Amino acid sequence: MYKLLFALIFFAIIQGKAQEIKFNGSISAENNQIKNIVDPTESQDAATKSYIDALINNLQSQLNDLKSTGSVPDNYVLLMKDDFEFFDSANWSKGLTNDNDETIRMLWNQNTGGEHLLNDNYDGYLVDDNVYVTNGLLFLENKKETIQGTDPVGQFDYTTGWINSLQKINFNGTQKGAYIEIRAQFPKGDKVWPAIWLIDDSTNRGWPPEIDIWEYFGRFFNTNRTDEMFMRYIYGLWNDKKDHSVPIENFQQTYSAFNQFYTYGFLWTKDLMSWYIDGQLVHTKTKGVEVPSADWPDKPMCLVINNGLMRVVSDENTTFPNALVLDYLKIYEDNN
């Protein structure tokens, strides 16, 4: 609702008709103008502020088109939503662990990873300051800066932001159909590796399974493949994993998703996984066809959302800071 109001206010200002409006994370009609459009925390530097300014201005122009572009199935009802008016710790923890119980954590590599690094495929040390909400948007930011890591120990040239919903938000689409809708903007550059994915949230969690709903590779490791958005399901055993992966090639070239917000949808049922961009079906995996029936996911799974960096890729064609930005996230479930 606030976005409709924001769009009307913004239009009025352009026309010179607005009189008493302020925007600072929410909208009120008590002041003289829109100001403090970005109010960064003390830890956010000038480059970050400039980046956010440009992004907010871009979002303002996009809000002129307020049509729903989602693909919510019939008979599905809203289970939860987060409009990112603030960082809701009831839904999310920062980093790789549950913020209420550090024993609840992602399965990082015991040799190369730690509390601030999943494994050495990644190049960014996870810090809480790189996760922040401003003006109704969640930012997961990559920065180029030197930091001395403690877990794992070592010097890192980049920092990054991750969140998870371990033991806070989870669902099993095989048992009860689930549809996830996220409005987001993905960064670009050879080194970036942002993703929105699902992992096992059972009490005795294991890996696999893993559903990479949206996993973007600026460059796919040390190959010549660039600009690909993967839709992937990893299954099997940890020492004998298999996966079914399909990329959208030339993703940023096609969608300009680095400066455009799109609605990304994912449907998971007992026999289908389907992917949508702005309501258009872009991929489907079918139980017993692309994925063996015995390996279809049937566990409660939680969300991991991260802006990553690829260790083996140089940063020559990557601008810093950069961010994976979320406008909202909604989860629906089958009401039948």
Domain ranges of the chain: 2-62, 76-334
Torsion of CA 268, 194, 199, 208, to 10 degrees: 100
**pLDDT score at 145:** 98
Mean residue pLDDT of the chain comes to 86
- The string of pLDDT tens digits covering residues 165-181 is 999 999 999 999 999 99
Give the pLDDT of residue 185: 98
Select from 3.30.430.20, 3.40.50.300, 2.60.120.200, 3.50.50.60 the CATH code of 76-334. 2.60.120.200
Task: Print the SS3 string covering the chain.
Answer: CHHHHHHHHHHHHHCCCCCCCEECCCEECCCCCCCCCCCCCCCCCHHHHHHHHHHHHHHHHHCCCCCCCCCCCCCEEEEEEECCCCCCCCCCEECCEECCEEEEECCCCCCCCECCECCCCECCEECHHHEEEECCEEEEEEEEEEEEEECCEEEEEEEECEEECCCCCEECCCCCCEEEEEEEECCCCCCECCEEEEEECCCCCCCCCEEEEEEEEEECCCCCCEEEEEEEEEEEECCEEEEEEEEEECHHHHHCCCCCCEEEEEEECCCEEEEEECCEEEEEEEECCCECHHHCCCCCEEEEEECCEECCCCCCCCCCCEEEEEEEEEEEEECC
Quote the percentage of the chain above a pLDDT of 70: 79
155 against 60, higher pLDDT: 155
pLDDT, one tens digit per residue, over 233-281 is 999 999 999 999 999 999 999 999 999 999 999 999 999 999 999 999 9
The pLDDT value given to residue 97 = 97
CA distances from 83 to 26, 179, 251 (A): 11, 17, 26
Beta bridge mates, 23: 27
Q: What is the pLDDT of residue 71?
A: 86
pLDDT at 58: 61
In tens, the pLDDT along 31-87 reads 333 333 344 455 557 666 666 666 666 665 454 444 456 789 999 999 999 999 999
Length of the chain: 336
The reported pTM is 0.83
Average pLDDT rounded to a whole number, residues 136-160: 97
